[in-house]
Amino acid sequence: MMEKKTYISDLQDQTSFDDIFALAAARMNQAKNGPYWQLTLQDKSGTMEAKIWFPASQNYEGLTAEQFVRVQGRVSTFKDQLQANIKTLEVLDPLEIDRSAFVPCSTTPPHEILEEIETILHTEVVHPAWKKLYRKILKDQAIRQAFLTAPGGKTIHHAYLGGLLEHTLGVLKACRAMSDLYPSLDRDILLVAAVFHDLGKAYEISHGISREYTSPGKLLGHIHLGLEVLAPFLNKSDLDEGLILHFKHLILSHHGQYEYGSPKLPMTHEAMVLHMADNLDAKMNTMDHALEQTDTNNWSGYQRSLERDLYVPVRTPQPEKTTRKGPKTKEDQCSLPLKV
């Protein structure tokens, strides 16, 4: 296996580099002086825009997303963003590449997240028909594999391998807490819906380097795809028809508003809670990643998806704990085989 030494997060303005990257995107554009390649380099630390200018661009044909390349270049700043100007590029044999170095991944291995989800369901869900339903769905090997390797989104939130499961666990825990706060909620249906509300994303977005939308994803969207996957299990379940109807409503309405792509508005207490939990977990993850890079005054800069700047405030001092767990290192992160 070819070894990668330099990551995108290590690159700074006016530094030269020679290393291996994945192509998350590749297209030929036209400038005044001739055609050039517009590329997006990627590794598990992030992405960077890159260009091969004319006439060097004429030396390369057929560059596409999902390829692995060895690149020599230099980093510069353009419109306050770092970009790479490529001097030479070589397409590599993917069989010689350890893909885990090139795909952003949740800090907790996906199989551990899925195990925690199953533990919560086993502990909290009481009604036999709901227990039977979620167990059958999660025992389906195709669904299980899709869950384990799916990102939670393309760019905005949880956009990394294991992201879908990480988001699912966050929504599940939020719904569990809301059920404690509001005991009149139908706890069973809410928790099961929380686990499967975004199942369609495992089929909407590819699981490869580029995380592009699939054709079904573009044409149908993850809400419809999720219901398609769940329909055979619901049809063969022992659930009352009224429970199935309500469950479908929870899936269909979890985006909350028509302008956010929701086919229906939440019309029950449980549907409203699921929407709020989904939106909260997505926003918190977006803020977490935006605040990983702040300026000297602790400001993130303008975040388009949130329509605001973000700030890291002074934190209230907390008492020292007797034991601490150190942050997970890159070596702790998952290294699952990827499917495109």
Model pLDDT for residues 148-167, shown as the tens digit of each residue = 988 877 666 677 888 899 99
Q: Does the CA dihedral 174-176-182-186 come out positive or negative? A: positive
Share of the chain above pLDDT 90, in %: 66
pLDDT level of residue 327 (50, 70, 90 thresholds): very low
- CA 195, 200, 201, 206 dihedral sign is positive
Q: How confident is the model at residue 330 (pLDDT cuts 50, 70, 90)?
A: very low
Write the DSSP string, 235-301: HTS---HHHHHHHHHHHHTTT-SGGGT-SS---SHHHHHHHHHHHHHHHHHHHHHHTTS--TTSEEE
- 74, 64 contact by CB (below 8 A): no
Q: What is the pLDDT of residues 198-248, one digit of tens each?
A: 999 999 988 777 777 899 999 999 999 999 999 999 999 999 999 999 999
Question: What distances in angstroms separate CA 268 from CA 53, 88, 328, one per listed residue?
Answer: 56, 58, 40
The pTM assigned to this predicted structure is 0.78
